[in-house]
Structures are given as C-alpha cells and as structure tokens.
Amino acid sequence: MTGLVPRDDFKRLQNRMNRLLEEFGISDPEARYMPEIRKIQERMNQLIDDFAVEAPMAAGDVMKPLADVKETDDEVVVAVDLPGMDKGDVEISVAEDLLEIKAERKVEKEEKGEEFYRKERSFSRYERSLTLPAGVKAEEARASLQDGVLTVHLPKVEVTTRKKVKIE
C-alpha cells in the first residue's frame, strides 16, 4: 500500500451509499424491508466511521509522505512531512539524481492500574523516493527535522562552462 486512504474518501463513500439507497426508493418509510435496511445502513456507517477514525496499519503497509521540492540557483530543497518521527527514526540517502527517505517508528505504551492493565503498540513506516530536478553534491547534503517536517538541503553541482556543438 502506498499511503493511507484519506478520511474524506470514506465520508464520500458513505454519502454515496446513502444516496444509492434513496435512489432505489428504499428511504420510503413504507418500504417492506425498511427496518432491516436501516440496520444495515447504520452498521455500515458505523464501520466506516470507526475505520476512518482509527485505521491501524497492516503488516507491510507503507505510507508515502507528502513532499515539496524547491529548486534555487544554488540548491535543491526538499521538505517532507514525517509526523511523530525523531531524527533517529529517519534514514536519508542520495544517489545521483535520486533522494530516498525511509522512516520507521515503533511505540509501545503500557499502563497499569489496580483493576486493569493496558498495553498498546503502534507502528509507522514511511518511504518516499524523489527524482531531483538537478545534479547535487550528495556529500554536502544536510538535513534537519523540526515539528514533524524533514528539510533536506542539497547543494547543486556547479555547471562549468557550456560548449556549443555544431551539427555537421
């Protein structure tokens, strides 16, 4: 999976299902099977709401974070959203014109009380590969992570002199 399905998509699906039932005239209170259909509709709405609020990642799911790439005269700057990540969770590699970012975080919370014990685990994995718009000096790249945004500064390779080529 290359990213999560946005919550708005589930809401749109829910609205389309409700409209579909109405188009078939099932919303008519005199419909023969209306109570059963309403139960099904309410249960589907509840399932969609539950999933949209807290959709756990299945094993192997990878989120593709949003990224902005900006080119200036001197460098290429890439900003990537990595919410909740620490710098130790992130791996960055640059090869020729490709920037690869991988982040993985595992969190375990444990809570004990007199009458209860709760242990929760969460796992987040992000991967993003970006083709850079210009050649960069990989060895001079620098990165910072602040407020869930990773910013990578990649100095551009200096173009020496251009030479015109005549067609024979």
Reading the block at residue 8, the tokens are: 């708005």
Residue 8 has pLDDT above 80, yes or no: no
pLDDT of residue 97: 83
Find the helix or strand (DSSP H, E) in which 17 lies. Answer: helix 7-23
> Is it the case that residue 104 has pLDDT exceeding 70?
yes
The H-or-E segment that residue 53 falls in is helix 34-53
Q: Is the predicted pLDDT of residue 69 greater than 90, yes or no?
A: yes
Residue 26 is predicted with a pLDDT of 61
Token pair of 138, please? 């990989």
- Residue 53: pLDDT band by 50, 70, 90 thresholds? very low
Higher pLDDT, 97 or 140: 140
